[in-house]
Amino acid sequence: MSDDNDGKKTLGVRGGPRAGNVKQSFSHGRTKNVVVETKRKRVVVPKPGGAKPGAGGNPALGDPSKRPAGISDAEMERRLKALQAAKAREADDAAQREADEKAREEERQRRREEAEAKEREERERENALKAKAEEDERARRAAEEAAKAAAAAAANPPAGEPAAPRAQRSAPSSAGANARRPAENDDRPNRNKGRDDGRRSGKLTLNQALSGGEGGRPKSMAAMKRKQERARQKAMGTQEREKVVRDVQLPEAIVVSELANRMAERVADVVKALMTNGMMVTQNQTIDADTAELIIEEFGHKVVRVSDADVEDVIKEVIDKEEDLQPRPPVITIMGHVDHGKTSLLDAIRNAKVVAGEAGGITQHIGAYQVKTDSGALLSFLDTPGHAAFTSMRSRGAQVTDIVVLVVAADDSVMPQTIEAINHAKAANVPMIVAINKCDKPEADPMKVRTELLQHEVIVEAMSGDVQDVEVSAHTGQGLDQLLEAIALQAEILELKANPDRAAQGAVIEAQLDVGRGPVATVLVQTGTLRQGDIFVVGEQYGKVRALINDQGERVQEAGPSVPVEVLGLNGTPEAGDVLNVTETEAQAREIAEYREKAAKDKRAAAGAATTLEQLMSKAKEDENVSELPILVKADVQGSAEAIVQAMEKIGNDEVRVRVLHSGVGAITESDIGLAEASGAPVFGFNVRANAPARASANQKGVEIRYYSVIYDLVDDVKAAASGLLSAEIREHFIGYAQIKEVFKVTGIGKVAGCIVTEGVARRSAGVRLLRDDVVIHEGTLKTLKRFKDEVKEVQSGQECGMAFENYDDIRPNDVIEIFEREEVTRTLT
């Protein structure tokens, strides 16, 4: 081993030199024994009293006693040399950086000067080109004038002057112009010297990026061609195309990319302008209207402020021209009291059996049908329910109809829902035809019906009025032809017309959530033609028509005015009564639906926010003594759910009420079960069932699910359940009176009244009141009732007995004891 290690400490082990054998192993089982000797270098550490610095060593190395242990003079000298070399390198680097910075500054200055020179040359070249163009124009005009003058002179030459000198005089001017052109052409190469054809160099800075300077990615070939084309047009003296000033519609908030699209500007330019104004945004971020207005004005466009409600302006109210209108089938609504034969009458007209499929034999949905008569005329019928809970359905039927057929049973006459149907027809201002049904029954009395209709200002033709009346029988078919003739006559008087060649508009008669088809809406088209593939908005929902199904269950491609169809393709279930409008694009429909949904949400929030703290406190105080029955309702169609909720709101009084936590359309799901469990409410399914996960969850959580198909049963059960929350009514029955004759003190009992029963009977279990001078002094129960020495249960009138009051001793002679019993009476909701 070498001893020349510059004072470095070598590896070693304690104990001095030591020899040993090491066995080395190699591949394929080969081994080798080697002798290894380890040595430790001895380090001499000078004693504290050793030589002083400068006594014989190098003074630059410092005092050896202050060095770390094991550092020799050679190591110290090497370290000093390395330190000096590092300082020298640092000085050289600083000088180099200074020189580089100076060179870069000179380069930047040179480039600025070159750019300025280029700009000057460009301006000079443009001026020269303009001057040249003007000179050429003047020369051209002079040549034209000379040619005209020469032609005129040749036609009429003056006496004594030849025509040749005139041509010679015009030659010098053209020669001078040609002499000037080479001089200008010779000057062009010198001006183009030093140009780099717009090639950029150097680093891109933030200021250059924001100010539109050079930098960034290289320009595309198309951009270079556009630049060359602009330069060529500029050189030819043609003016650039003027900027198109646009009217930019600006809502309350807008996305940057949409703003650029409306201005027809590049998105990058808009983002750059926003960054210049201090807003670091991307093209997908939203900015407010004030900021967008500044950007629009900066780009030279005009601002047109619009509100959120303006999105509905795309749904235009088109006034159809008279020549575009075509006859359309009438819409007839069948109305009347429940069980008066409305659906049976319509079945007889249609030759169908709808009533056989109705639960309980009553109509609980609004149905839309189209009938073709023997004469070939088409009639659209709406069949409305007659039950009291379906008021909203009858109102919707009256609003979209042309003619109301009021069905009244001849054996039942005018009933409450008959009166309601009359009011709906009058409110909708539509003509009415009275159909007196069940005339085949022996107890039928049509004249009674006509007479009772007079009380409600319905005067039929048989009573010298203007309302048509027809006696019919759905069972035998009597009078059906006369009814159809009356409808056709009334429709002919109305002259119903519509324009089928326009965007469709219709009303939602009913809506439901079908398991296999999704949201389905029954729509009565009022104007225009609804076609498959049309994009529409209806209430807070929108969609695209995927399929149209008529009342016979057949798929059709289009539906004209007065045609009821089922529409598939909605994104959600609309409300019954919403208006359907066809739009041009899906974006418009989505925007309108989102606006309507937001407006409805804000309206609900505003209704809750308008309540003051005092009103909340007073309502909470009123609700302290009110018991609530929470329920969840799921129905098959929107109209049924609405009718059930309205019926539930009418159940209750000051002590109990029904609260519908949630109502919806479709099957009962797990989320409904979760809500019912949290609120302790039962789930009512009307013509719907719970799916398998919901049933399992209900069994696990103990939630009650009840199924109904007739609205009568549902309302009766809820009434019974709500009646159970009512506190029982306490009624008192007086059974007797007793008069105190004497008061005795008995040890262990206290004061005992010696009484005689003057009226009725005295019972041990009854309640008693102590009357003194006909004023109630005490009310309580008896502690003891004795006849002689025996404890008895009751004492009859005219007999003497002993009475002691429970926890009361202030009794006196001649006091009267009133004996009564309390009875709890169960109350019910009416």
Between 205 and 774, whose confidence is greater? 774
Find the helix or strand (DSSP H, E) in which 221 lies.
helix 221-235
Residue type, 522: T
Phi and psi torsions of 640, nearest 5°: -65, -45
The closest of 312, 317, 311, 316 to 249, measured between CA atoms, is 311
Of 26-35, 187-196, 658-667, the poorest mean pLDDT is in 187-196
Whole-angstrom Cα Rg for the chain? 53
Region 286-291: mean pLDDT is: 88
Region 349-374: mean pLDDT is: 58
531 near 558, Cβ under 8 Å?
yes
Residue type, 233: Q
Sign, Cα dihedral of 200, 205, 210, 211: negative
Q: What are the Cα distances from residue 308, in Å, to 251, 385, 594, 595?
A: 7, 39, 10, 7
Structure confidence at residue 229 (pLDDT):
83
Residue 624: CB partners within 8 Å, gap ≥ 6? Answer: none
Residue type, 467: V
The closest of 585, 561, 562, 565 to 324, measured between CA atoms, is 561
270 near 295, Cβ under 8 Å?
yes
Helix, coil or strand: residue 249 = strand
Residue type, 740: I
Is the predicted pLDDT of residue 552 greater than 50, yes or no?
A: yes
Helix, coil or strand: residue 489 = helix
Is the predicted pLDDT of residue 270 greater than 90, yes or no?
A: yes
Phi and psi torsions of 44, nearest 5°: -95, 120
Is the predicted pLDDT of residue 179 greater than 60, yes or no?
A: no
Between 364 and 726, whose confidence is greater? 726
Is the predicted pLDDT of residue 626 greater than 80, yes or no?
A: no
Residue that the structure tokens 């593939």 belong to: 533
Confidence band (pLDDT; 50, 70, 90) for 44? Answer: low
Structure confidence at residue 59 (pLDDT):
61
Q: How many alpha carbons lie under 13 Å from residue 313 in its C-beta half-sphere? A: 6
Q: How many alpha carbons lie under 13 Å from residue 304 in its C-beta half-sphere? A: 8
First to last CA, the chain: 117
Tokens of 526: 């009022």
Longest dimension (CA), the chain: 182
Q: What are the Cα distances from residue 128, in Å, to 123, 133, 181, 191?
A: 8, 8, 11, 12
Structure confidence at residue 172 (pLDDT):
44
Between 722 and 779, whose confidence is greater? 779
CA angle 351, 352, 358 (to 5 degrees): 150
Residue type, 760: G
Confidence band (pLDDT; 50, 70, 90) for 169? Answer: very low
Residues 324, 346: Cα–Cα separation, whole Å: 33
Helix, coil or strand: residue 254 = strand
Of 45-49, 594-598, 803-807, the poorest mean pLDDT is in 45-49
Phi and psi torsions of 744, nearest 5°: -120, 150
pLDDT, tens digit, 9 for 90 and up, residues 723-756: 776 666 778 888 899 999 998 888 777 888 899 9
Question: What is the percentage of the chain residues whose pLDDT exceeds 90?
Answer: 10
Sign, Cα dihedral of 619, 622, 627, 633: negative
pLDDT, tens digit, 9 for 90 and up, residues 340-356: 888 888 888 877 544 44
Residues 688, 684: Cα–Cα separation, whole Å: 9
Helix, coil or strand: residue 514 = strand
Is the predicted pLDDT of residue 719 greater than 60, yes or no?
A: yes
Predicted TM-score (pTM) of the model is 0.50
Between 571 and 424, whose confidence is greater? 571
Of 2-16, 57-71, 226-240, 391-405, the poorest mean pLDDT is in 2-16
Residues 361, 714: Cα–Cα separation, whole Å: 16
Mean pLDDT of the chain: 79
Helix, coil or strand: residue 604 = helix
Residues forming beta bridges with residue 286, ordered by sequence position: 255
Structure confidence at residue 363 (pLDDT):
44
Structure confidence at residue 156 (pLDDT):
65
Is the predicted pLDDT of residue 271 greater than 90, yes or no?
A: yes
Region 174-190: mean pLDDT is: 45
The closest of 330, 342, 423 to 384, measured between CA atoms, is 342
Structure confidence at residue 530 (pLDDT):
92
Strands 331-336 and 326-327: unpaired
Residue that the structure tokens 């198109």 belong to: 244
Is the predicted pLDDT of residue 237 greater than 70, yes or no?
A: no
pLDDT, tens digit, 9 for 90 and up, residues 294-333: 999 999 899 988 776 666 766 767 777 888 888 888 888 8
Beta strand extents in 171-327 (DSSP E only):
247-250, 253-255, 286-288, 302-305, 326-327
The closest of 726, 656, 648 to 684, measured between CA atoms, is 648
Confidence band (pLDDT; 50, 70, 90) for 827? Answer: low
Residues 198, 226: Cα–Cα separation, whole Å: 13
Strands 31-38 and 286-288: unpaired
Is the predicted pLDDT of residue 50 greater than 50, yes or no?
A: no
Structure confidence at residue 517 (pLDDT):
83
Burial class (CB in 10 A: 0-12, 13-18, 19+), 352: middle
Structure confidence at residue 189 (pLDDT):
44
Residues 829, 655: Cα–Cα separation, whole Å: 10
Structure confidence at residue 184 (pLDDT):
44
pLDDT, tens digit, 9 for 90 and up, residues 113-160: 988 888 888 888 888 888 888 888 888 888 888 888 888 877 665 444
Structure confidence at residue 726 (pLDDT):
65
The closest of 758, 730, 735, 739 to 820, measured between CA atoms, is 735
Helix, coil or strand: residue 733 = strand
Confidence band (pLDDT; 50, 70, 90) for 362? Answer: very low
Residue 672: CB partners within 8 Å, gap ≥ 6? Answer: 632, 634, 662, 664, 683, 694
Between 381 and 241, whose confidence is greater? 381
Region 665-686: mean pLDDT is: 87
760 near 737, Cβ under 8 Å?
yes
349 near 371, Cβ under 8 Å?
yes
Count CB neighbours of 109 within 10 A.
Answer: 10
